[in-house]
Structure 1
Amino acid sequence: MATRISSSFRGLILLSFFAYLCLCAHEAEETTETQHHHQISHTIPVISLIPSNACTSSAKGSERKASLEVIHKYGPCFQSKNYDEKVPNHLEILLQDQARVNSIHSRLSKEYSDNNKSRDSQVATLPATSGLPIGTGNYIVTVGLGTPKNDLKLIFDTGSDLTWTQCEPCARSCYSQVDPIFDPSKSTSYSKISCNSSECSQLISATGKPTTLLLYLRLRIRYKYGDGSFTIGDFSKDRLTITTEDVLDNFLFGCGQDNEGLFKGAAGLLGLGRNQISIVKQAAQKYGQFFSYCLPSTSDSKGHLTFGNGGVSSTVKFTALQTLSQSQSFYGLDLIGLSVGGTQLSIPKSAFSQEPSSIPARLSKVCLAFAGNRNETSIGIIGNTQQRELEVVYDVAGERIGFGKGGCR
């Protein structure tokens, strides 16, 4: 019989701006009830770290109805004659990861503090994670916005709620992006949100801001990041096209007209969080708060982001979805132990704090596992490398998250 470790761990899953889907965990109370475990063996080939010049597609994503192709920002599937960005090296990626960890911890601490005190503000400042000058998220989907449709490449993120894009006119500044910047004046279905509307109330509820926002003729949003980067614009609504048969009218999003230091190359962000303003909640009637994705195993291949419960493999194993007390926007899991060959291990925490000099470096095959937090009570993070090629399923209404093999094939 497997031996259970003495503590359970609670976590959150979010697709970060930087290169990784993360599973975050903090130590919880000791668990004594019987646990059921699903074993999924997942191997990451070393060749997946080597770049390629050819682009391959995902057969599984194309079979599904409301499905978007997922591509890597620095791979051959994301090409433009009018845009060229330096690919970060491994050191820069590690720096991005550490900055992401720091910003998540800072955000959770700040949101917990903000929830316990009231504040007045004239602008809805949406909580977000740090954007860095050296780059942004690596996984991109293309959606259509407006009437007629404008195709926009957006980074998708389960750790954010608001969908936003750069908009004309750029009041002060707009960063460089591959697609033409969205011009709302040319869309017949576009409108700004007034502050006496129910949509305004949704944003206030989502951000915890007081009703002083209702004094404004239209609602302005400020999406601010830890390094001083930001987007400022109008809270708006327009038609969002996922596929030719999947269209969301009156979709709420941020139309940013003053943007700095963010998302170079991408037009903005697609928010997949748990709040009312996320696409998951806005499309709840159509897709039942159900979506799944597969991140491509290499930068030269494609994955998919699919809305609705169509075509999910029967091999997907589910676990209960949890809610973090620090932030209800994130997706949480309980981690209860580690297993090797089907046997659950009883290992003290100190065993996971290994000095770099003691890590074997002359092996033909290596596994990059975990780096310790500076504070043992902080949220822990599992990067997207471990989840590439897996089918990751979010059944939000059913309060469960699933994992299955062969998600992109």
Structure 2
Amino acid sequence: MPANLYFFFPYLLFSSFVWDCSGADFGGGSENLYVKLGSLLPTPVCSMPASTGYERSAAIRVVHRHGPCSSSSQPTKAAIQILLEDECRVNSLRSRISKRVLQGQTLLPAHDGRLVETGNYVVTIGFGTPKRDMTVVFDTGSDFTWIQCHPCAAYCYPQQDPIFDSSNSSSYLNVSCNSAECSQLKSTAGNAPGCSSSTCLYGIRYGDQSYSIGFFAHDTLTLTPSAVVPNFPFGCGQRNRGLFGKTAGVLGLGRGKLSLVSQTAQKFSRVFSYCLPSSPSSSTGFLKFGEEANYNSFKFTPLLTQPDAPSFYFLDMMGISVGGRKLGISPMVFSSAGTLIDSGTVITRLAPSAYSALRGAFRQYMSNYPSAEALSILDTCYDLTGYDTVTVPKITLQFRGGVDVNVKGILYGSSPSQICLAFAGNNAPDDVAIIGNKQQQTYQVVYDVARGRIGFGEAACT
């Protein structure tokens, strides 16, 4: 380690833009869903599928970071705390897209700057030679991959896996400060994160003041035994603080040049997919890389790009149906601010008028159930104490190309006395809409970046 590394680190921690932040079983007919209330509530038991298929090439098991299937074994978070953290992530994400800056504050000149905490899903992958398994958050809203590295000691947060020691990896190599790659890092960041002696450094601060700073390096990344990525660029974090739970870091699946998707373009053709299970606290899904034959049966909608946020995945949303009836919402409501799909956001956010229409129709269908107080950002809640099963209207999100996504994640809550509609309204019409991971559950969502499309396959991990 360069002798002056820790002397340099404080200068990376500029004042950044900040927001003040402190599954279900379904059945039913064509227009309704019958939801077992118990399937919405936390459980301490991990439900593993009899045949996982994770042994196949480039397929990795996905679990919820706060659920019993996670090796991090964190206590289950209160529903309201997850919602508060989710709102912080959304606010920070919007600020980056719209480039809003509060008076007296500046954006940190580094890679992606958003909250990683919330209802995130994790995967376990290997770093180094010989490989060391690390459990990381996977995030379509980030480009840069990083993990904590020895010797950070007092500058690391507690994690479940042993901290990665680069000196034990025969394939580890720091990136030179004068290299083209370091320049690429600077270009992507918008400003030079810095150098220590001849070693390139990176710096990331997220929206809640979490951060990671360290060496920009290369090493072997092992996704599965048959899917190995040599010389993968990543951050070897020496100073790391924040709400990352007990994970080792972040796996960036955005569209930027340094993301895993771009770095493995030749191997996996810039195609990946995931399936998030209907019961995130107790069951598992998967993350896959590369094309599959069954994608031919999927429904695809065009992948859009917003010039101010080229790493994000935008879709063209066209409408919403509730109980089989399309709501009278003008397509301009969806197109004016745009709609992105994000693996790290929990609750779907809609334009105020679109949410108002959805809420009104949903409340009409649910008028026979007793109402309850709002739960944080969720304002349509019910006291379902004493109910074993509830009937809810089917909600369908409609995208360009005739793609209809019949949402399974309709309800959210941690107590029978407060179960809520799992959608929220934006504060302003020009706030970007976001399709959260709650509404993506059980679908295999395919990100085909090379062909400019996103696909949906039903019942992939029920």
Shorter-chain-normalised TM-score: which range? 0.7 to 0.9
In structure 1, the partner of 2:58 is: 66
1:346 aligns with 2:399: no
1:129 aligns with 2:114: yes
SS in 2 for 1:352: helix
SS in 2 for 1:85: coil
| Kept after mapping to 2: 8 A contact 1:124/1:221 | no
SS in 2 for 1:177: coil
| Kept after mapping to 1: 8 A contact 2:31/2:323 | no
Q: How does 1:8-407 map to 2 (within 5 A)?
A: 46-58=37-49, 59=51, 61-62=53-54, 64-79=56-71, 85-110=74-99, 125-130=110-115, 136-170=118-152, 172-209=154-191, 217-298=198-279, 299-340=281-322, 344-347=326-329, 350=353, 352-353=355-356, 359=380, 361=382, 364-366=390-392, 367=410, 368-407=421-460
| Structure 1 residue 408, shift from structure 2 partner | 1.6
Structure 2 unpaired stretches of 5+: 1-22, 24-29, 331-351, 361-372, 385-389, 393-409, 411-420
| Kept after mapping to 2: 8 A contact 1:292/1:393 | yes
Cα distance in 2, alignment partners of residues 144 and 286 from structure 1 = 17
Query: How many percent identity over aligned positions?
Result: 47
Cα distance in 2, alignment partners of residues 207 and 360 from structure 1 = 42
| Structure 1 residue 387, shift from structure 2 partner | 1.0
| Structure 1 residue 345, shift from structure 2 partner | 3.0
Cα distance in 2, alignment partners of residues 222 and 168 from structure 1 = 17
| Kept after mapping to 1: 8 A contact 2:150/2:164 | yes
Aligned residues: 358
| Structure 1 residue 315, shift from structure 2 partner | 3.5
Moved more, 394-403 or 171-180: 171-180
Shift in CA distance, 44/396, structure 1 to aligned 2, threshold 3 Å: farther
Cα distance in 1, alignment partners of residues 210 and 353 from structure 2 = 37
| Kept after mapping to 2: 8 A contact 1:163/1:271 | yes
Moved more, 165-174 or 186-195: 165-174
Cα distance in 2, alignment partners of residues 43 and 328 from structure 1 = 39
| Structure 1 residue 287, shift from structure 2 partner | 0.2
Q: Which amino acid aligns with 2:450?
A: A
SS in 2 for 1:144: strand
User: 1:290-312 CA deviation, whole Å, 9 max, x = no partner?
Assistant: 00000122121111000001254
| Kept after mapping to 1: 8 A contact 2:212/2:237 | yes
Cα distance in 2, alignment partners of residues 206 and 242 from structure 1 = 25
Shift in CA distance, 40/275, structure 1 to aligned 2, threshold 3 Å: farther
Structure 1 unpaired stretches of 5+: 1-19, 21-38, 114-118
Shift in CA distance, 215/152, structure 1 to aligned 2, threshold 3 Å: closer
- After the TM superposition, which segments of 4 or more aligned residues of structure 1 sit over 6 Å from their partners? 39-44, 355-358
Cα distance in 2, alignment partners of residues 347 and 95 from structure 1 = 28
Q: Which amino acid aligns with 1:161?
A: D
Q: Which amino acid aligns with 1:128?
A: G
Shift in CA distance, 185/42, structure 1 to aligned 2, threshold 3 Å: farther
Cα distance in 1, alignment partners of residues 449 and 136 from structure 2 = 22
The TM-score normalised by the length of structure 1 is 0.79
Shift in CA distance, 335/152, structure 1 to aligned 2, threshold 3 Å: same
Cα distance in 2, alignment partners of residues 72 and 201 from structure 1 = 36
| Structure 1 residue 106, shift from structure 2 partner | 1.6
| Kept after mapping to 1: 8 A contact 2:64/2:119 | no
User: 1:79-124 CA deviation, whole Å, 9 max, x = no partner?
Assistant: 46xxx533211111111121122111122223x88xxxxx9x9x95
Cα distance in 2, alignment partners of residues 316 and 109 from structure 1 = 32
Cα distance in 2, alignment partners of residues 136 and 308 from structure 1 = 27
| Kept after mapping to 2: 8 A contact 1:42/1:405 | no
Cα distance in 2, alignment partners of residues 225 and 240 from structure 1 = 24
Q: Which amino acid aligns with 2:243?
A: L
Shift in CA distance, 310/43, structure 1 to aligned 2, threshold 3 Å: farther
SS in 2 for 1:127: coil
Shift in CA distance, 57/310, structure 1 to aligned 2, threshold 3 Å: farther
Identify the structure with bigger relative contact order (alpha carbons < 8 Å, sequence gap 6+): 1
SS in 2 for 1:91: helix
User: 1:357-407 CA deviation, whole Å, 9 max, x = no partner?
Assistant: 894736734541532111111112232111111110000000000011111
Moved more, 297-306 or 342-351: 342-351
Which structure has the highest strand share of the two?
2
The TM-score normalised by the length of structure 2 is 0.70
| Kept after mapping to 2: 8 A contact 1:61/1:303 | no
Q: Which amino acid aligns with 2:48?
A: S
Cα distance in 1, alignment partners of residues 168 and 274 from structure 2 = 32
Cα distance in 1, alignment partners of residues 217 and 161 from structure 2 = 20
| Kept after mapping to 2: 8 A contact 1:72/1:296 | no
SS in 2 for 1:336: strand
